[in-house]
Structures are given as structure tokens and as C-alpha cells.
Amino acid sequence: MTTHPESSPVTPARGTALVTGASSGIGAAYARRLAAVGRDLVLVARRAERLRALAAELTEKHGVRVETLGADLSDTGDLDRVVRRAAEDDIEMLVNNAGINGYGPFAETDPALLEKVLAVNVVAVTRLARATVPGMLARGRGSVVNVASTLAFAGSLPPGPLPTRPVYGGTKGYVVTFTRTLAAELDASPVQVQVLCPGLTATEFHLTQGQEPVSGERARVHDDGGMPVEDVVTASLRALETGEVVCVPGLVDGAAVDRVTAAETGLRSLSTSTLAPRYRNSAPR
């Protein structure tokens, strides 16, 4: 069920939220929801014209201050500029939403595109979190949401109907592990950390591999459809209220995440300093 912004669960505004990938899709939905509760915003994306239009809409409708930063997070200079802004004292929420897919067979995909996927999905996420967390700890409040994907849990599944995704899936696996481990480190602190893992979502994401942003002034939706972005953001904001670290918007059985943790604990605890019998006396190659 879609929940409208006016009635959605959301923490009351405090400080400024920096949202990457805010020109459409999940990022734009976060921007609208956070503005509706009075948060000032810093919006980051490659499509500066879309950001300006969204900023004008939110300022007029909600009276919030909206700053826009046109930036390609795969570009070191652009990322440096956004990192400097993220480290300023007013940032109390970070939504690391920007991401590109680079879908395609590994042996055939342009290496430059794969480097771009790593830069946006891994390096930018890490650097922006590192820029914001120290200040949040010092001020005694703050939250970081890193957007991953359910494809982070689909490593062994072949493509069809899933996309061909070795690097993309790997980057989202990094985001899940990074966020969960950081959340454990900060467990006793006042800073909340969440990884949001949507499934197929009704955005523009599948319209391009990510070399260039989707053209046009109006946001579109890929033909595959998926969960409405408003529902994805509702799940994330509700999970922040309840303290869930791993938020999977379509997951009915929340205990499934606990079972993943239990399985990981089992793997670690059963690994000893003694070579496992199945690896002994193998035939020479």
C-alpha cells in the first residue's frame, strides 16, 4: 500500500539532509519526503537542471532551504567538492543513493564503465560516509542511509530474469557489508546507520548502463515497473524509527535478516585453524 507523505512515518526535521542521486527516482522521493517535514536539503546529481527544478518545487511548497550541487560522483574533483560540503556542521542526515549499474557480461563490458560503477557505488559511498560520521558523533546525533539492492544477496543466481551484474552485485554486496559493520561499530553511539535494499523499483535505473544520465527534463520509469519509490522511502524512514539496520522494503518476514546473521556466525565459528577433511589428499593437477 502506498503511503502519502503527509501521513507517512518520518522523524521530525533536524539539521540538513544531503541526498545524492536526487534528480529522479528514490533520491527525489527522499528529497520530497524530507522537505515535507521541514528538513533543509543539499541535493546532488549529474543533472543540474532537474535538481534546480526540484529545488524550486520544494522551496515553494515547503519553505525549506534547498542547495543543489551538480556533480558526477565518478569524477574525483566533483566528489571532492561534495565531500567538503558533506563534512560541514549542518549535515545531520546523509542519503547515499547515487548509483549506476554497468550491467553486461563481464568480459564484454567496457573497463572504463566498470571503474565508474566502482567509483560511484563504492568509493563515493565510503568517502561521503567518512565525511559526515565524525561530525555527527561530535554533535551527538545523525543518520546515514546507504542504498544497496536485493541483488547484493543474489551472487550465485544466474542472469535471466536477473540482469548480468557481476560488478554491480559486488558493489552492492560491499555496501551491505560496509553498512552492517559500521552500524555494529557505532551501536552504542547516537548515530543511526541503515542499508536500504530495494528490489525492482519503478525508476529510470534500467534505462541506461550509467555512462550518461537519462536524458530529458521529466523523470521516466523503465518498462519493468516495480515498487513505487514512495513505498521504498516509507520503508526506509520507518526502519530508521524502529532501528532496523537492514531494510528490505518488500520483505514480509523480517526475521530472515536475523537468519542471515546466524548463518554468518555459524560460518565464522566453525572455521578453525585445522584444515577441513574435504581439502586433504586431493588428486594432483
What is the DSSP code string of 231-283?
A: HHHHHHHHHHHHT-SEE-TT-S-THHHHHHHHHHHHHHHT--SSPPGGGSSPP
Mean per-residue pLDDT, 171-195: 98
Residues in CB range of 134: below 8 A, 6 or more apart? 87
Q: What would the pLDDT profile of 243-264 be if each residue is shown by its tens digit?
A: 999 999 999 999 999 999 999 9
User: In whole angstroms, what is the distance from residue 100 CA to residue 114 CA?
Assistant: 10
Q: What would the pLDDT profile of 126-146 be if each residue is shown by its tens digit?
A: 999 999 999 999 999 999 999
User: In whole angstroms, what is the distance from residue 104 CA to residue 116 CA?
Assistant: 14
Q: What would the pLDDT profile of 190-221 be if each residue is shown by its tens digit?
A: 999 999 999 999 787 665 665 666 655 566 55
Residues in CB range of 198: below 8 A, 6 or more apart? 26, 147, 149, 150, 227, 232, 248, 249, 250
Q: What would the pLDDT profile of 92-121 be if each residue is shown by its tens digit?
A: 999 999 999 999 999 999 999 999 999 999
Active centre residues (catalytic): 168
Q: So what's the pLDDT on residue 9?
A: 43
Q: Which three cell numbers stand for residue 141?
A: 546525533
**pTM of structure:** 0.90
pLDDT at 5 over 50: no
- pLDDT, averaged across the chain: 91
Closest-CA residue to 209 (of 144, 70, 113): 113
Higher pLDDT, 224 or 240: 240
Domain limits of the chain?
Answer: 5-279
Architecture of the domain defined by 5-279: 3-Layer(aba) Sandwich (3.40)
pLDDT tier at 4, thresholds 50, 70, 90 = very low
Q: What percent of the chain has pLDDT over 70?
A: 87
